[in-house]
Chains A and B, each alone.
Chain A
Amino acid sequence: MINKKNKNEEGQASIEFILTFMLTIGVFVFFIRLALNMSVGFLAHYATYMASRTYMVMDNNSNTDTSTDSDALEQAQKIFDGFKLSRFGISSSFSRISANTPSDSGKKYEYVGIKYNFKLPLTSFKVFGGDQLLDLESESFLGREPVRVDCYERICEAMKKINNAGGDCKDQTTLYDNGC
């Protein structure tokens, strides 16, 4: 008789524990999701920055600077892909970066660099904001170094002026190399 009574009281503690435990776990999961989003976000910022570094300096020795820009973006994409962000919960549908190129018309020239847009779940719970997605934008505007064809054109222009108007950049001219 006593044993049966004790069994019933044990169940009460378990049920109360489960109820409070769910609430506690819920709060934990909320903050863990926030921390994960921030960590993945920092990694995405770093990947964008590294891609922007590549974009800044890449030169394919083409004789047109615009084709070099598109090749630089592809090279930056390869560096970006090396971070494998899909392993950290970013959907593979958000795998492409984009660029503000030096030739983009209308844009302020300082904003040249790499951009990356992606989405992450806001919370882990469907009933509490779970349907909303964070729309995150990572930007790194390091600019773009003048490519060799730009240097060539500038040096050629200088040589023409030094050799008087109407001169040719094939003429013998002495110049200091200031690295363009």
Chain B
Amino acid sequence: MDAFFKKLKNRKQEGQAVVEYVLLLGVVLIMFLTVFRHPKFQQFLGKEGAFFKQYKLLLEYSYRYGLEGNTDPAPNYTNAHPSYFDGGDTRFFSNKTKYPE
């Protein structure tokens, strides 16, 4: 019996830190995946998340019009266009009537 306890006492302990570290990593990974896969998180930062939808709209609007905004009025060139003509304000430098034919 004494020989058995002596054998146990002499066993190496250096693996303990590694095992604990791997277990801790596992816990951290599970916590991360739990948060990442949560529907609320996915709704905000997922593939089709609200954050990226807004980010996309903001980039598209500012690229097209050179202005800050996120609601594209999709102008059909019959009247207002945020970059060129909006009510009384216009950036066109031209005559107000069509060139006569």
Contacts and interface: CB of A to CB of B under 8 A. Distances in A.
Given A107-B77, A150-B101, A8 B64 contact: no
The bracket for how many chain B residues form the interface is 20 to 34
Interface in B2-31: 14, 17-18, 21, 25
A129 B76 CA distance: 29
Interface residues of A, number: 38
Nearest to A44: B63
A179 to B, nearest CB: 13
A130 interface: yes
A141 interface: yes
Interface in A119-155: 122-123, 126-132, 134-139, 141, 143, 146, 150, 153-154
Given A12-B21, A129-B47, A123 B52 contact: yes
A110 B98 CA distance: 8
Nearest to A133: B56
Contact of A122 (B45, B52, B79, B99): B52
B78 interface: yes
Contacts of B43: none
Interface of A: 4-5, 8-9, 11-12, 15, 37, 41, 100, 104, 106-111, 122-123, 126-132, 134-139, 141, 143, 146, 150, 153-154
17 contacts: A8-B18, A11-B18, A12-B21, A107-B76, A108-B77, A110-B84, A110-B94, A128-B45, A128-B46, A128-B49, A129-B45, A129-B49, A129-B55, A134-B56, A136-B63, A139-B64, A141-B84
